[in-house]
Structure 1
Amino acid sequence: MRVALGQISSTGDPRANLELVAAEVAAARGAGARLLVLPEATMCRFGVPLAPVAEPVDGPWAAELERLADEAGLTVVAGAFTPGEGGRVRNTLLVRGAGVRAHYDKIHVYDAFGYAESDAVEPGREPVVVEVDGVGVGLATCYDVRFPGLFTALADRGASVVAVAASWGAGPGKAEQWELLVRARALDSTCSVVACGQADLGVPSDAPTGVGRSLVAGPLGQVLAQLGPGTGRLVVDVDPGEVQRTREVLPVLVNRRF
């Protein structure tokens, strides 16, 4: 399955960000991709109030995303914000196009490094796996990548590919942790992990605006392709057959005791 990653830098304007999405969809279509993974917060960057921009999963922003994906004949994963309870929002991945219509609310909220995402974001509860061209694709968002159990749960639910969307916060060692964690989660779940983050703006920010370095890791943790910090695109062919072969020789999912 050919997968495209669009390492963009979204703005605080959801309508303007749809123009970025349209450009990435067109490029992915031109490359023959069947799945396009865009970052967390594609709808609107962090660092601005999110409640005013949050829309339902069937709202106008999602509808336009679906139109773009359907017209291109591919499936798009893009980070958005949807209304939650008590004035909070949900950090939601929308999955639209080519017969797929689903969403995932980020389960692990980022209450770490002195930041409390849970003040503004209501956590999700259920792992989600969708099917793209017969391939099980699990969904994860940013901080989720620190939790192996989610990735093995996605594998248990039929995923052989996991799409991770992120807007990774900068800081000492954080970029190195990002690559290490993506590769480790691929090994934990014996899945191909397609991890797309927001590009690095190159300026200091109190908000998690991204460090770039999107990458694709194979089921043995090998890096198949990777970007640098700036905006860019990747197109990678992932092989579900390699996942199956890996699970036959390295059956960590079967050998688990906990």
Structure 2
Amino acid sequence: MEFGSVLNSEPKTVSESDLTRPIPGTPPFSLATLMVWVTFLSLSFCAWMTFLNGFGLNATGKLDWFSIRFYGTSAVGLGTGITTIVLMVLWRSRGMAWSWQPGHVMLLWIGYYELATISAVAVDVTTHDPSMGYDPFRQRIYEVEGLVQHCGVILILVVCLSLLRFSRLWRVVFGLVIFLNLLILALMNPLQLPMGQFISFEMLRRSANVMRIVVFGMVPLLALWELVQREQRDWLHWVGIVILLLHYAKWMNYLAGF
């Protein structure tokens, strides 16, 4: 099977032995894979701890539980996303082929998203002047971060949906993620367009929250449905499912007031 080959869009019935056997062409999870993953997770956590310490924040008392979960989840998403990219490059360089699956795409865009986040924080911590009450450059850093994040995620998903064939339900999920990022870009309003009576920031904010809830609910339901249908998925796909749920769990906690 060639790299980038399409996925079967229709569920198929396989035997019990097929479910336990790796998908042809997909490198199995190994000790070396685990070591690479742990390495990048450790680097991600170290980077976040270093930058937070640069702002005078630490886990010993100046960070509340919500912040610890937020930054911890970001570190997990960053480390796992980078691990995925590194593994794919290594597999490709060694002539290994694999079938693209929805979870792989999730890991790519989440890794990119978190990389943009920590890059902005790195610029902020190195240029921040505590003596300034208001720093317009600091605000600009995070405005650019938002544009890079959401435009990049949209581009990644549009390219993947154009080149890869997923089932209709997975395409709906990715379409909702694209729509969510478009809503956030509209909320950022980089062109400073006037908001009318029927389109307001509050309406856009609520719509974005609804999209997060819908995606957070659809992904595990669709994953369970594929298990019932005995759809063959590899280990990296399931890692992507978990990381996406962790990514949106931050927002679910925020919306729930936890």
Greater RCO (Cα-Cα under 8 Å, separation 6 or more): 2
- Larger % of strand: which? 1
Bigger Rg, structure 1 or 2: 2
Tell me the TM-score normalised to structure 2 length: 0.26
Compute the TM-score of the two structures, normalised by the length of structure 1. Answer: 0.26
